[in-house]
């Protein structure tokens, strides 16, 4: 079958590789000049273990499977990967019950987690400060851009095609065909393409692309910028692997952490502040359309009203390297603003419902012969090969319907 896949991030490429390898005739279209230009190429590079997610959810199931399949894939393809393990640290007694809950959740998800004391934690990370910690052996780091290059090569080897600089503008199912329209970057000349099915993996544009196909996404994508620093040479020798704080269960993605990077060095971050443009990585990047979309969504105001205090803390930390360093020195004492070197930011696509609740789990929407990935936040890079399998079976059902 002829399948049009939209988006050359890790989800689009993993799906395209899977479909091409089973014999489908695959065309991937990507509006940027290269792959992995947005979330996939600007993330923390962590292979998550599956610790945090609600048992039974897609995130828990596909995340835990991805924690096994992603390092296997990377090793087989010669992509840099390391299973270095991580520590989640409770810095005071008040955090220990939440650490315990996390340990139980991890165990329910089949993750190999151990509660350890401060002395053992210091065997792994000599400079860490904690009263207790969780040790997770299966967490790793990987070059996700390299993973995407390997997936793109698989698409091409299996006879598929990837066209860059070509934007998808919408599609309609007409009987047993899907008609899609595309235009090349900088051109308004519309090209029509016919396919048997379409899979749309548009990341930060997911809601708009679904709407352009007549599909109600059920949520709006609100962009949150995640700012990073790199530790300078002296401070980076003080961190061996990955050190995370105990997450707030209401906002598991908040909380800056220290992450050894696969290419060397230690990243610190990210925080999470409302981005003024969906694909804007500098503070000064503003898109009036993106801002209007975010601010006109009642869900954002409801989220803000309920959570103004943690939101304000994130904004303050965004404005002050001293506060950023203070958060990090809760984990490793003595990190100062002088140790922080600004590093490129990422923007998370967070699907937000009208009532102000975050869409927590991975979310697909279907129409006959169409699959739309609406919400694929972290750990979707880790779980990408598993999400691709899930998309494949969802697509087959959408074609048979
Ligand atoms: C700051 C940050 C840190 C993260 N850390 C981790 C981590 O450590 N581990 C982990 O597992 N996950 C992490 N994640 C999450 C992970 O990066 C994402 O879940 C994953 O990359 C999503 O992949 P994607 O393909 O859906 O989206 P993207 O990578 O954003 O790709 C979507 C693609 O669609 C293209 N596109 C959009 N509109 C069109 C159009 N009209 N026509 C053609 N193409 C279009 C875009 O240009 C883009 O290339 C992190 C995310 C962020 C932002």
What's the rounded Cα separation, in Å, for the pair 87 and 89? 6
Read off the pLDDT band of 315 (50, 70, 90).
Answer: confident
Tens digits of residue pLDDT in 276-297: 999 999 888 999 999 999 999 9
Q: Is the peptide bond before 269 cis (omega within 30 degrees of 0)?
A: no
CATH 3.50.50.60 assigned to 2-44+145-217+360-400: yes
Question: According to the model, what pLDDT value does residue 252 have?
Answer: 64
User: Which of 346, 215, 362 shows the shortest CA–CA distance to 280?
Assistant: 346
Residues with CB under 6 A from ligand 1: 6-12, 29-32, 37-40, 42-46, 48, 167-168, 201-205, 209, 226, 270, 346-348, 373, 376-382
What's the rounded Cα separation, in Å, for the pair 47 and 299? 30
**pLDDT of 253 above 70:** no
- Contact (Cβ atoms closer than 8 angstroms) between residue 31 and residue 167: yes
Q: Which atom of ligand 1 lies at the shortest distance from residue 382's CA?
A: 11
The pTM for the full model equals: 0.96
Mean pLDDT score, 136-148? 97
Structural domain 83-139+220-352, CATH architecture: 2-Layer Sandwich (3.30)
What's the rounded Cα separation, in Å, for the pair 68 and 237? 29
- Contact (Cβ atoms closer than 8 angstroms) between residue 205 and residue 372: no
Task: Please report the beta strands in 154-235, taking only residues with DSSP state E, as ranges in sequence order.
Answer: 161-164, 166-174, 177-184, 190-195, 197-200, 220-231
What's the rounded Cα separation, in Å, for the pair 18 and 12? 10
Q: Which two tokens stand for residue 384?
A: 């990408």
Domain boundaries, the chain: 2-44+145-217+360-400, 83-139+220-352
The residue nearest atom 3 of ligand 1, judged by CA position, is 43
**pLDDT of 231 above 70:** yes
Give residue 365 CA to ligand 1 midpoint distance, Å: 18
Alpha helices in 125-166 (DSSP H): 144-157
Tens digits of residue pLDDT in 171-207: 999 999 999 999 987 777 788 999 999 999 999 999 9
Give residue 180 CA to ligand 1 midpoint distance, Å: 22
Tens digits of residue pLDDT in 268-278: 988 888 999 99
Crossing angle between the packed helical segments 58-77 and 384-400, to the nearest 10 degrees: 120
Query: Which burial class, exposed, middle or buried, applies to 176 when counting CB atoms under 10 A from its CB (0-12, 13-18, 19+)?
Result: exposed
The residues near 63 (Cβ < 8 Å, ≥ 6 apart) are 48, 49, 50, 53, 109, 379, 382, 383, 386
């Amino acid at each position: 079958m002829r399948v049009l896949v939209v988006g050359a991030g890790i989800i689009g490429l993993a799906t395209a590789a899977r479909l091409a390898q089973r014999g489908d005739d695959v065309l991937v279209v990507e509006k940027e000049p290269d792959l992995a230009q947005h979330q996939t190429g600007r993330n923390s590079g962590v292979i998550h273990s599956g610790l945090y997610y609600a048992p039974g959810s897609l995130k828990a199931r596909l995340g835990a499977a991805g924690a096994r399949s992603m390092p296997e894939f990377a090793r087989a393809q010669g992509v840099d990967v390391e299973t270095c393990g991580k520590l989640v640290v409770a810095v005071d007694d008040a955090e220990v019950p939440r650490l315990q809950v996390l340990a139980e959740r991890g165990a329910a998800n089949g993750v190999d987690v151990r509660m350890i004391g401060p002395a053992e934690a210091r065997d792994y990370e000599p400079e860490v400060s904690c009263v207790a910690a969780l040790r997770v052996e299966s967490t790793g780091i990987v070059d996700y851009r390299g993973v995407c290059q390997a997936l793109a090569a698989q698409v091409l080897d299996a006879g598929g095609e990837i066209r860059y600089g070509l934007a998808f503008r919408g599609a309609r199912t007409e009987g047993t065909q899907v008609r899609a329209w595309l235009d090349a970057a900088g051109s308004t000349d519309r090209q029509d393409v016919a396919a048997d099915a379409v899979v749309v993996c548009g990341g930060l544009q997911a809601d708009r692309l679904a709407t352009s196909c007549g599909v109600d996404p059920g949520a709006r994508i609100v962009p949150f910028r995640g700012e990073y620093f790199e530790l300078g040479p002296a401070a980076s020798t003080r961190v061996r692997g990955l050190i995370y704080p105990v997450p707030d269960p209401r906002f598991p993605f908040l909380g800056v952490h220290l992450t050894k990077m696969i290419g060397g060095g230690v990243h610190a971050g990210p925080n999470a502040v409302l981005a003024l443009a969906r694909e804007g990585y500098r503070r000064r990047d503003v898109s009036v359309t993106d801002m209007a979309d975010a601010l006109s969504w009642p869900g954002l105001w409801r989220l803000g009203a309920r959570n103004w205090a943690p939101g304000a803390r994130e904004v303050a930390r965004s404005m002050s390297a001293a506060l950023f360093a203070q958060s990090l020195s809760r984990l490793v004492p003595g990190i100062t603003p002088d140790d922080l070197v600004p590093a490129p930011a990422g923007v998370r696509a967070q699907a937000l419902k009208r009532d102000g609740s975050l869409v927590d789990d991975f979310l697909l929407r279907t129409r006959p012969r169409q699959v739309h990935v609406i919400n694929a936040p972290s750990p979707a890079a880790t779980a990408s090969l598993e999400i691709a399998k899930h998309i494949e079976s969802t697509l087959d059902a959408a074609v048979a319907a």
